[in-house]
Structure 1
Amino acid sequence: MSLSEYKKKRNFTETTEPATGKPVAGKHIFVVQRHHASRLHYDFRLEVNGVLKSWAIPKGPSMNPADKRLAMEVEDHPYDYKDFEGTIPAGNYGAGTVYIWDKGTFELMNPDGKSFDKEALRELKSGDLKIVMKGKKLKGEFALVKMKGREENAWLLIKHKDKYAVDEYNSEDYTPERIKAQGEKNKATTKVAKKKVTAVVRSESKNKTARAVHRIKKVYKPMLTTLVSEPFDGDGWLFETKWDGYRAIASVEKHKATLYSRNEKSFNNDYPAVVAAVEKISHNVVLDGEIIVLDNKGRSHFQTLQNYRTTGKGKLVYVVFDLLHLDGNELQHLSLLERKSLLKDVIAELNDKTIRFSSHVLKKGTSFFEKARKQQWEGIIAKKTDSVYEEGRRGMSWLKIKIVNEQEALICGYTAPRGSRKQIGALVLGMYENKKMKYIGHCGGGLNEATIGELYNRLQPLISKTSPFSEKVATNMPVTWVKPKLVCEVKFQEWTGDGHLRQPVFLGLREDKPAKEVHPETAKKINMATTIEKERTLTLNSKKVSLTNQTKLYWPDEQISKGQLIDYYLSVAKYMLPHLKDRPLSLHRFPNGIKGPSFYQKDLDLEQTPAWIKSVPLHADSTGKDVDYLVCNNEATLAYMVNLGCIEINPWLSRLSSLDKPDFMILDLDPEDIDFKYVVETALHIKNMLDNFNITSFCKTSGSTGLHIYVPVGAKHSYDTTRLLAEYIARHVNEELPKSTSVVRAKSARNKKVYIDFLQNSKGQTVASPYSARPKPGATVSMPLLWEEVNEKLRISDFNIHNSLERLNETGDLWHDIKSIKNDLRKVIREIESNAHA
């Protein structure tokens, strides 16, 4: 590894991470940085040969010899990274908050008296580095040992039994000292700073403290919510009012405020009263909240906010629910309750009715939802009390449950008026789905004379000669098409079966949201909060599915439970199920998680299986008996399978209607002790060959170590035909890349090579489904890719059960049209034969 890999992954115009750094002669330093990215982990770094050799430790280092901490080796970091603290902006590699947890010097346990760096590199190469650490928290003897039989970057950090060893240790227990040390320094500051801000500054030593001051960033991206279908109760959750207005970030520095929307539109001129109020705050802060207008019953309505600038009716309020920065301290890594506690004091100190603290209730979400329904609120928000603030991310830590159906939509045109109405009859609405514009209905309700006049003027510069829809849209009156730039908010009764809005009513324009982010928002049937329960029963597809041992850890090092895995699968079910429909499945069961024993099960015990589970009996030539294969066509079956311990989902390549003829030809690229860049190189050679034959192909990560290349063949050819062509392609590419690829199945014969496996093209063979989780460190996922993503930046670890849904919300199913592609293999085979005889 070298700094070139480090630099490739970073945009230094956006992140404040150092690009270089030369070591200071003398003792060799180490640093441990607490890094709250998509998942909390600790970065363990040792200065060797002028750089920081680096490992990510999910559970943090331990002073207990019984704890063998998984440490995943990552790219080398520059020496100056030893001092880095701050927030890596969203959208950048490693986005999240970093602060120094421990630092000091280290020595080799068995020095040879010669070059420190040469000896350290030799021990690292051998996979067994023994050191003595001299830090504030980490002291004494440690060993870094490379794991065998795991991914090539997997190590263990182990504490030796010495005078510093302890019986119990949790890295997270050792952050409160920061509060105590800085608390002594801040006695003379204001009430808020004196009381709580000490939680976010760093202690350098017992007698000397140093405050890490961070400048307010130019832009903070709001954390987003995910829509779920019903309210719930739960320990570890709080519940807030869902305010119906404009989401707004307020950045206040030296009594000068900047108020801006999600898409960075300034609100300073639109809401000067809010700006004036926050500028009275006696601290430098960054607030997150909602600009609303309240009626005389204390309710917020988006339409009232829209009209406020012209009517002045209602009470303008900035309701604040989060605090991201306070007096030089970035707070995103604190828990939500800690941030809200600080925020409450800031707002109380301000004492201005234009700024309101968004209060909450703990645990009791169901009764809070009923209160919201009675008071005719838009809905409620549920948040995990220990959640960090993840800028720009839509995850499962913040959820919304709606009472009123509202949806953003793009204005794609307007119809000619009828009767007494002038200029606009109805708005033609659309939204992006899989990067294509989809018609979702038209809306005439909610349009009055003033609204129509403003809309008409705004739409004139956007008039287009062509429709933005690929489909033909039927309307009652002639249509004027416009470029889909304006976002509006509508309320509606329900979504129809064909994906249209029933009875939409125009509420107003949404100038705070970018057009590209408008997509269908459908509620998830699963509430992610229930994973804290040991047992639960879900109603899915009108079936009661009993789920057991939900707190059992399937990924012990990552602290991911069985319940969280089930929730992941249900969150991506609408994307995954089309790829499973009517395919027999082989069940690979891990009843005790990825570190326990596993086994394959093809034959269902129908006496123990619920009657609603679909299965198909298929004759097995090896035994002469029928085997009852499970078939997963719905969410209920998917949840049932995962509850059995099926971490990964493995379907056949053919469906029940044509079991002898697969839908796809597969090439499975499996690296054996060779860098992943050679997998990418092999994949691109295969694509080039397929392109030359005019064959359309698709690629996904395996979720394990390699890549899967799919060629749709439309169930028109036998397995023998697809296997023969796959073998021809594999051998041809092997001839082009003899040093880095192999077509020999025996592992001993393909060491340090990429095995191009064509034998998967056989009846009964299975491949991990798109979006399947894999029983690998990091809870990685088999993710469909665009071919342009198959490059030197691609990593298997880029996709896991924590970030896959976010990607899907942005891109949709990249393989949604794979079934419509039908490559003619006979034509290709004839071309190959013709060339062979030429």
Structure 2
Amino acid sequence: MTEKKGTKEPRKGDRLAEYRGRRDPRKTPEPVPADKALPHGDDDTFVVQEHHASSLHWDLRFERDGVLVSWAVPKGLPWSPETNHLAVHTEDHPLEYATFEGDIPRDEYGGGTVTVWDRGTYETEKWSEHEVKVVIHGSRVSGRYVLFRTGGKNWMIHRMDPPADPEAEPLPEALRPMLPVRRARLPRDQDAWGFEFAWGGRRLMAYVEGGRTRFTDGRGRPVDGPAGLGSRLGGRLGARPAVLDGELTVLDGRETYMIFDVPHLDGRPLLDVPYRERRARLDELDLSGPAWQTAPWYPGDGDAVRETAAEQGLPGVLAKRLDSPYAPGEESGAWRLIEVSARRR
């Protein structure tokens, strides 16, 4: 595909004046060229950078007339044509920024960590002050996209092609958590079970997408999460959509979200996936932070877990069959809550 004749934007003065005016090269590791930008290259490079600044967003940049024309996209590039995402036009960046990764000091403009999320080439179909149509070819995202101006610096980005992953499913609006039945004794066949601590907290389901998080309670009703938890947890998962199941409890005097299941991940419902495999996928996410932790689990070792729970003053132990699916809203014998005060077998 080739650009329509007459749509190429003419060069303007010093395209990098605003960029330089916002940065002190003595304080930031970002490239800050002393000279004005000069056209070179084929106007075919694009990059998407994940930017953990005051709020997580993704920076979309296209090489154009010697600079990287840039938009900040708070929720990342849409994977389906059914959803448009906000894209805020920002100052032009130097071409050297296409390979930049590093930590910008927190007290500097754009302070935070920058990593390259994707890069590749693109073709221009149309480029004007109000509309940009491109075909991008990256390793993580490819396809036809259009950016259109809605007012001031605010634009929207729309995917024109079919979904990048036709089998991907959006996160559910609400998912009621699976519930255990109460039992007085540990299961006889402990090798067929995994064991977790019962934390005695408030059940919360977390829906993470585009770096943002919303929560529902044990009845599937929308609720507010603890201050700051949603944005920080969303930032940890980045562009990976997920539904997390956990309890909000107090550990060492601090409110902590203990995560013990993942019923939906990367556009795939995991309801029919065995508990053992869901836990393995959850562990791979390595979710550990100042206000959240991946809860530990112990296959086949219920007696030791129960003894530790009693020593720590925890209310009980959860026994979960290793082959059990996730049954939203159901009280299932595949999950069992055993109180530590109950008599052992």
Give the TM-score, by structure 2 length.
Answer: 0.49
**Pair member with larger Rg:** 1
- Which one has more relative contact order, counting CA pairs under 8 Å at least 6 apart? 2
TM-score (norm 1): 0.21
Greater strand share, structure number: 2
